[in-house]
Structure 1
Amino acid sequence: MVMRDLNIGTKVGLSVLNDRWDALVLTNLTVAPMAIMNLRQQIRGLSTLKLLNVLARLTELGLVVATADYQFQLTAAGTHFQHQLQQLEVWGDQMIIDMQ
């Protein structure tokens, strides 16, 4: 079977991986609620407006949830995605070592 295009799930996953802000927010969030300004301080170069847009997108995808007092935390799906990001980092690091 010839595959001419990626399925929708793959496209969604790659769009999150391809956006550095999405990946950085997911990497820095935890399952414990975090104040938005604390998150912003951990990610240099990310404006408050951009962070709010990223959080809204990740919330739509079910990876992040806002608490009643406007703190943010990972959902179970977000935690799983964060783990996948960590595995991708390990794989990438190993590839760099293997190429040397």
Structure 2
Amino acid sequence: MVMRDLTIGTKVGLELLTNKWHALTLCNLTATPVDFMVLRNRVRGISTLKLLTVLAKLEQLGLVVSTPDYAYGLTSEGVILKRDLAHLEAWGNRVITEMA
């Protein structure tokens, strides 16, 4: 099968992956919820408002879950995407190494 255009699903996935704050936030979360301020310190360079916006978007996409006391963790889908991001990073690292 030849791909002639990107599907809507591909576009959504690429939009998520190409936004550094989305990717960094996902990479700094686990299935065990972490306090918002702990997460805020892990994701360097992001404002509090931007992090809240990113978390709301990731929650809307079903990748993150929040608790009543403002802790955030990955859903099972979020864990899968985080694993996929790690594979993508490993691939990129191999490409860079081979180019050197």
Alignment of 1:8-27 (within 5 A): 8-27=8-27
Tell me the equivalent position of 1:85.
85
TM-score by length of 1: 0.95
Distance in structure 1 (CA, Å) of the matches to 2:51 and 2:4: 34
Alignment of 1:13-92 (within 5 A): 13-92=13-92
Moved over 4 A (4+): none
**CA RMSD of superposed structures (Å):** 1.1
Shift of 1:8: 1.0
TM-score by length of 2: 0.95
Unaligned runs of 5+ in 1: none
Unaligned runs of 5+ in 2: none
Percent identity between matched residues is 55
Shift of 1:50: 0.1
Instruction: Write the deviation string for residues 67-94 of structure 1: whole angstroms up to 9, x where unpaired.
Output: 1222100000000000000000000000
Question: SS at the partner of 1:72?
Answer: strand
Instruction: Write the deviation string for residues 38-65 of structure 1: whole angstroms up to 9, x where unpaired.
Output: 0010111100000000000000100001
Question: SS at the partner of 1:83?
Answer: helix
Higher mean displacement: 3-12 or 47-56: 3-12
Supply the AA of the counterpart residue of 1:32: T
Tell me the equivalent position of 1:94.
94
Supply the AA of the counterpart residue of 1:24: L
